[in-house]
Amino acid sequence: MCGIVGYVGHRRAVGVVIDGLERLEYRGYDSAGIAVGHVADGAPARIEIVKRAGKLEVLKIALEGRMLEGTIGLGHTRWATHGEPSDINAHPHLSEDGQLAVIHNGIIENYGELKERLSAAGHVFLSETDTEVMVHLIEEHYRGDLAAAVREALAQVTGSYALAVARADHEVIVVARATSPMVIGLGEGENFVASDVPALLAYTRRVIFLHDGDMALVGSDGVTLTDLHGAPLARDISEIDWDAESAEKDGYPHYMLKEIFEQPAVVYNTLGGRLVGETDVNLDLALDPHSIDRAIVTAAGTAFYAGLVGEYLIEKLARLPVEVEIASEFRYRDPVVDERTLCIVVSQSGETIDSLEALREARGRGARSLAILNVKGSSISREVDDILYLQAGPEIGVASSKAYLGMLVAFELLALWLGRARGTLGDDGAREIVRALRSVPRLIEDTLTHRPCIAEVAETFKDKDHYLFLGRGINFPTALEGALKLKEISYIHAEAYAAGEMKHGPIALIDDDMPVVAVATQGELYLKTLSNLREVRARNGILIALAHPGDDMVGAHADVVIPVPETHELVSPLVNVVALQLLAYETANRLGLDVDRPRNLAKSVTVE
């Protein structure tokens, strides 16, 4: 997720664009850049570009003393997806003749084949980004009509984009949208484009939200909307009554809730371009899957629970032995590791010191390493042999939600890739998983519609002092993650157990004052789980069950059923956990607690 801003009007563009980027830093902050059209009297029009790796502050320092007088400009704050954060990979990207500038938020999925064709045709690429192919495609088709050139370029592209293009000799910005958000701000003798409303509110509250497939020519004296074929379009003008801070949350009361609702897009983007046909996966890894005999997954907190799901997936699909280790334990226990061990380190931030040191411990003993990471350019990213990036965008809420989903998708892809490469996963089995993965965004949307029912559960039990979470098999980690979510934002004590383990002690805890949340979706161990539900009922426990819609057997035992849509059991954690994230959120919110910044917690634990 990146932040883009454009301006055309009577003001110096650089001030408006930097203002806007400051309001969009929550969308990405590993590098930033600005392009300003410069039309000096008598001299040929040209575009000036300044871009830097690092936070926006670094760009602002680089701009000091630069006289950028132009009144048309583009700006970009990046969340790297392709190519490390660097000056050259930062946006805007400029054409070879310095006349055309492009900024982009999204993923050009077929950029590899486009880059190959354009390079063979003589185009010289400077960056590692997918976005740069847009510059060369537009150049290739430009015959004086910028909008037509952008249309012809986009006709060759698959993927997601919020795109803004400017040429030195044009007084308009051409924009286009597919999947990634884009909004046009309407002013007096000036107009604006941005990824999101916060960038515009200082100048206008009249906006047009572009739809997928929309394009627009944005000039100082007007905006012309078309489709991707150039046919005129009409869109409503909205009046924004949010303040800037609530606008950064897209109108959600908390970042965490916004990020829970972003999860369908996170799954779609993390899968994006990595599924090949109906049965295969392309992860672009250097790892030789035949060079390893076992894997050790090491992480902390939520990332550790993602690793537990990964263990089930990799052992089931690839028949590769996996151990999952708490990073702060692994690094001190003199582990048995050799060069045929794959160390998989999982981290949203890529900065968790325990996970980084556990990685170093494993590598020091000869292990190959692979990171499942969200933040490009993070410390862990610089010390591994391979990286599988989530496409979750910045996660602002301290309690992880969308990053966890991204990690689960990454493990699904890794297990598929290993299984296919090691010959332990046939076409039929792979096809079932791939089909289920492609349906997950829709199934999460479905689960999110049950928020009112989950909110009622939260309201009923928000004053309880203790919760017990139960799960079996691949959904035991789901129970663990649900308990952690509740603990860390509502401060209610919650424990999670493998349901089969309950009779070995925890059952003594159950009474008529303890809510027991059971993940009771159907799978191989469904009947066993049902007997666990009966054990809870027999002791007057308060039973809240996640179950497939219409499951009367669970319904007969539970006080409350939270419906979750059915899917392949090996994919079910990606759907089930969403209900538990909402339960934790609604509980904490009803207790009036600071959901985004829970007490005692930090987003990334970078000190021991």
The interface region with ligand AGP, picked from 294-302, 429-437, 441-449, 471-479 by CB under 6 A, is 294-302
Question: Which 8-state DSSP code applies to residue 232?
Answer: B
Mask for 313-352, x = binds ligand AGP (CB under 6 A): ----------------------------------xxx--x
Strands in 463-536 per DSSP E: 466-471, 493-498, 515-519
Q: How far apart are CA 293 and CA 246, in angstroms?
A: 50
Closest to ligand AGP by CB, 48 vs 481, is: 481
Name the minimum Å distance from CB 600 to ligand AGP.
11
Site membership for ligand AGP, residue 301 (CB under 6 A): yes
Q: How far is residue 23's CA from residue 496's CA, in Å, rounded to a whole number?
A: 40
379 binds ligand AGP (CB under 6 A): no
The distance of closest approach from Cβ of residue 494 to ligand AGP in the complex, given in angstroms and rounded to an integer, is 13
User: Helical H runs in 192-292?
Assistant: 244-248, 255-261, 263-271
Indicate the residue among 347 and 369 with the shorter CB distance to ligand AGP: 347
Q: How far, in whole angstroms, is CA 303 from its chain's centroid?
A: 14
Residue 126: CB minimum distance to ligand AGP, A = 32
Distance CA 517, CA 520 (A): 9
593's tokens: 């607690």
DSSP code, position 30: S
Pick 359 or 562: Cβ nearer ligand AGP: 359
Report the residue number, 348 or 576, with the smaller CB distance to ligand AGP: 348
When asked if residue 604 is in the footprint of ligand AGP (CB under 6 A), the reply is yes
Nearer to ligand AGP by Cβ, of 303 and 415: the residue is 303
Nearest to 304, CA basis, from 364, 337, 362, 348: 348
CB of 391 to ligand AGP, least distance (A): 16
Per-residue contact string for residues 19-48; x = within reach of ligand AGP by CB under 6 A: ------------------------------
Q: Which stretch binds ligand AGP (CB under 6 A): 15-23, 392-400, 570-578, 583-591?
A: 392-400
The verdict on 494 binding ligand AGP (CB under 6 A) reads no
User: With the C-alpha atoms ordered 568, 570, 576, 581, is the resulting torsion angle positive or negative?
Assistant: negative
With b meaning 16 or more CB within 10 Å and e meaning fewer, what string describes 39-50? beeeeebbbbbb
Distance CA 479, CA 476 (A): 5
Q: Are strands 368-373 and 386-389 parallel, antiparallel or unpaired?
A: parallel
Residue number with CB closer to ligand AGP (217 or 605): 605
Alpha-carbon distance of 501 to 480, in angstroms, equals 13
Least distance (Å) between residue 375 CB and ligand AGP: 8
Known catalytic residue at 2? yes
Hunting for tokens 């409503």 — which residue is that?
236
CB closer to ligand AGP out of 195 and 298: 298
70 burial level (CB within 10 Å; 0-12, 13-18, 19+): buried
Chosen residue from 71, 129, 180, 400 binding ligand AGP by CB under 6 A: 400
* Shortest CB 594 distance to ligand AGP, Å: 14
* 258 labelled catalytic: no
How far is it, in rounded angstroms, from Cα 481 to Cα 149? 49
Q: What one-letter code names the amino acid at 477?
A: P
Contact flag: residue 399 with ligand AGP (CB under 6 A): yes
Residue 351 CB, nearest approach to ligand AGP (Å): 7
Binding site for ligand AGP (CB under 6 A): 300-303, 347-349, 352, 355, 398-400, 488, 604-605
Residues catalogued as catalytic: 2, 603
